[in-house]
């Protein structure tokens, strides 16, 4: 995804290179196809027993993002919009990695608590 955005920033469109647009669209489609199921699975793991509300909030957040970009998109330069997309992607990835780390630590702590050979005080 970052590669697609960097190409969009650096590439100077030429009519004879229209195929690049299709390649970029394909790359972004593949990235979306990879991340959408991961994101949905993460919500399913985080909100066990509250899946309906979790998925509703997921889709609501995505649609609000589409709406905001639709509103401010026409009033700014394409380069600025691409830079904002890179910033949004970076924030989202940092949030994803933070959640993964927190889940790992939580699962590890639960494993240590259930093991009879580990002193519970040693993990705190």
- Tell me: the pLDDT tens digits for 1-56? 788 889 889 988 898 999 998 999 999 899 889 988 988 888 888 888 888 888 89
Kindly tell me if the per-residue pLDDT of 91 is higher than 90: yes
Among 20, 4, 11, 9, which residue's Cα sits nearest to residue 80? Answer: 9
Instruction: Check: CB of residue 5 under 8 Å from CB of residue 79.
Output: no
Q: Tell me the average pLDDT across 102-112.
A: 82
Q: Which residues contact 2 (CB under 8 A, 6 or more apart)?
A: 86, 89
- For residue 117, the model assigns a pLDDT of 58
* Residue 90 banded pLDDT, cuts 50, 70, 90: very high
Confidence of residue 98 (pLDDT cuts 50, 70, 90): very high
How many CA within 13 A on the CB side of residue 69? 14
- How many domains is the chain partitioned into structurally? 1
Q: What residue spans of the chain are helical by DSSP H?
A: 2-10, 19-46, 51-72, 78-114
Residues contacting residue 42 through CB under 8 Å, at least 6 positions apart:
96, 99
Show the domain range for 81: 2-123
Phi/psi-derived region of residue 62, left when phi > 0, alpha when psi is between -120 and 50, beta in every other case: alpha
Q: Find, among 61, 17, 28, 29, the residue nearest to 42 by Cα.
A: 61
Measured distance CA(98)–CA(58) in Å, rounded: 17
């Amino acid at each position: 995804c970052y590669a697609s955005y960097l190409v969009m920033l650096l590439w100077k469109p030429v009519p004879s290179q229209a195929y690049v647009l299709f390649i970029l669209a394909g790359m972004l489609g593949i990235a979306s196809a990879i991340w959408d199921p991961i994101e949905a699975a993460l919500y399913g793991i985080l909100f066990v027993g509250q899946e309906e509300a979790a998925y509703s909030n997921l889709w609501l957040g995505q649609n609000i993002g589409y709406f905001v970009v639709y509103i401010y998109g026409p009033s700014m330069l394409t380069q600025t919009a691409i830079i904002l997309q890179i910033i949004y992607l970076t924030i989202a990835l940092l949030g994803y990695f933070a959640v993964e780390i927190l889940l790992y630590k939580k699962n590890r702590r639960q494993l240590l608590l259930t093991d009879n050979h580990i002193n519970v005080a040693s993990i705190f």
